[in-house]
Amino acid sequence: MPAIIAHGGAGRYSPDEEHERGLKDAVAAGWRILESGGSAIDAVEAAIVVLEDFPVFQAGFGSAMNLRGEIQTDASIMLDDLSCGAVAALTAAANPIKAARLVMEKTDHVLIVGEGADHLSRSYGLESRDLCSPERKETYDRMLAKLRAGEEVASYLPRLREVAADLSMGTVGAVAVDSDGRIAAGTSTGGPMLKLPGRVGDAAIIGAGTYVNGNGGVSATGVGEPIIKHIIAKKAIDLISHLGAREGIDTLMEYARINDVRLGIVAIEENEAIALGYTTDAMSWASMKDGELKTFLSTGIGVRKDDAGDKAETGDSSGKVLET
Ligand code: GLY
């Protein structure tokens, strides 16, 4: 039985109706492909394209800007036979996830960055777009002014980390299993606001932001650097392989909490079990399985909003593990 889950990022933010609409549209786009017998990789790409085109998410159009006011995007995509592709510091493509798929399907490489990634995207006719949204520009100006209020340039790094961590809230991703049992996952982001030019985050790193093998697939979101250091996506799949989706993610959340890794993760196991968890204040996602659509917007205050609009207390959001 096919299934798909998509997320709209973990961090400190307040998911609203627009996030919910984007996630529902994303899952619906993926589901249409899956229910007509299409592949997991097509479903993942379609879902992420929808999220990249939605300006509320910090991926594709609406990506955050780096310190120089430029947008540099990261994305990765992977299939359960370990085929994978990724791009980093891409500037032109409207849909970075499509560029990642190009790397996977049209090249002998796994990761292509910067100018090379832009060139590849253009060569294959991917649409280019100015990814800067008015909302994001406003945030950039405000954050830059805040940064400049510091005493000297060398002192800004700790503060930069502080503000960037709070703004890492818009990475998107999806995981799907199709009717042939194939699993795919992908992740896409503009990275945190005011990141240093050239900085590459977990979304471009296979094993950190995205990983898939025969046991399952995951997409991670959150502060990229600790996610890379702890190889979170691969760790998640190893845990899922040994413990199953729910207990695997549960154990990962315990590990993330102990090691202060602020993240969110969505996973599908080979038996189609869906699991997810997060250690940030907020996270948003939607899933579709057995024809049933579920959405979840964590507002960061431990309140769960389900698809019917009901609200139910979920208690402490820290390290929560949920299964749909
Ligand atoms: N997780 C997105 C980033 O840190 O780039």
Q: DSSP string spanning 211-224? A: EEETTEEEEEEE-H
Our answer on whether the CB atom of 223 is closer than 6 Å to any ligand 1 atom is yes
What b-and-e string marks burial along 282-312, b requiring 16 or more CB atoms within 10 Å of the CB?
A: bbbbbbbbeeeebbbbbbbeeebbeeeeeee
Ligand 1, residue 191: give the atom nearest the CA: 5
Ligand 1, residue 225: give the atom nearest the CA: 4
Q: Whose CA is nearest to atom 4 of ligand 1?
A: 224
Q: How confident is the model at residue 308 (pLDDT cuts 50, 70, 90)?
A: very low
Our answer on whether the CB atom of 264 is closer than 6 Å to any ligand 1 atom is no
- pLDDT of residue 240 exceeding 90, the answer is yes
Ligand 1 centre from 141 Cα, in Å? 20
Q: Are 185 and 57 in contact (CB under 8 A)?
A: no
- pLDDT of residue 168 exceeding 60, the answer is no
- pLDDT of residue 6 exceeding 90, the answer is yes
Name residue, tokens 């969110």: 264
C-alpha span between 71 and 193 (Å, rounded): 9
Q: Lowest mean pLDDT of 16-20, 43-47, 48-52, 202-206, name the range.
A: 16-20
Our answer on whether the CB atom of 110 is closer than 6 Å to any ligand 1 atom is no
What mean pLDDT do residues 166-170 have? 57
Our answer on whether the CB atom of 11 is closer than 6 Å to any ligand 1 atom is no
Ligand 1 centre from 46 Cα, in Å? 21
- The HSE-up count of residue 73 (CA atoms within 13 Å, CB side) is 35
Q: Lowest mean pLDDT of 11-20, 85-94, 142-151, 285-294, name the range.
A: 142-151
- pLDDT of residue 102 exceeding 70, the answer is yes
Question: How many Å from the N-terminal Cα to the C-terminal Cα in the chain?
Answer: 15
- pLDDT, residue 151, reads 34
The answer to whether 280 is a known catalytic residue is: no
> Which of 160-169, 269-278, 297-306 is modeled with the greatest confidence?
269-278
In three-state secondary structure terms, 175 is strand
Ligand 1, residue 209: give the atom nearest the CA: 1
Our answer on whether the CB atom of 168 is closer than 6 Å to any ligand 1 atom is yes
What mean pLDDT do residues 118-145 have? 89
Q: Rounded to the nearest 5°, which phi and psi values hold at 194?
A: 70, 20
- pLDDT of residue 156 exceeding 70, the answer is no
Q: How confident is the model at residue 12 (pLDDT cuts 50, 70, 90)?
A: confident
What mean pLDDT do residues 312-322 have? 41
Residue 180 to residues 29, 36, 84, 135, 177, Cα–Cα distance (Å): 19, 12, 19, 41, 8
Q: What is the pLDDT of residues 66-94, one digit of tens each?
A: 888 999 999 999 999 999 999 999 998 99
Q: What percent of the chain is modeled with pLDDT above 90?
A: 67
- pLDDT, residue 254, reads 94
If we measure between CA atoms, which residue out of 80, 256, 96, 245 comes closest to residue 173?
A: 96
112, 201, 266, 180: CA torsion to nearest 10: 10
Ligand 1, residue 221: give the atom nearest the CA: 1
- pLDDT, residue 36, reads 97
What mean pLDDT do residues 103-127 have? 97
Ligand 1 centre from 111 Cα, in Å? 16
Q: Which of 73, 171, 187, 210 is catalytic?
A: 171
Q: Report the residue among 52, 168, 172, 265 best suited for mutation to probe ligand 1: largest number of ligand atoms under 8 A from its CB.
A: 168
Q: What percent of the chain is modeled with pLDDT above 70?
A: 85
C-alpha span between 46 and 28 (Å, rounded): 9
Output the pTM of the full model: 0.88
What mean pLDDT do residues 209-221 have? 97
What mean pLDDT do residues 151-163 have? 46
Give the DSSP H/E element, type plus range, for residue 97: helix 96-106
Our answer on whether the CB atom of 171 is closer than 6 Å to any ligand 1 atom is yes
Q: Lowest mean pLDDT of 41-55, 99-113, 265-279, name the range.
A: 265-279
Our answer on whether the CB atom of 222 is closer than 6 Å to any ligand 1 atom is yes
Our answer on whether the CB atom of 201 is closer than 6 Å to any ligand 1 atom is yes
Q: What would the two tokens of residue 161 be? A: 């980390």
The answer for residues whose C-beta is within 8 angstroms of residue 179's C-beta and 6 or more apart is 1, 2, 34, 37
Ligand 1 centre from 222 Cα, in Å? 6
- pLDDT of residue 150 exceeding 90, the answer is no
- pLDDT, residue 13, reads 78
Q: What would the two tokens of residue 199 be? A: 């900085």
Question: How high is the mean pLDDT of the chain?
Answer: 87
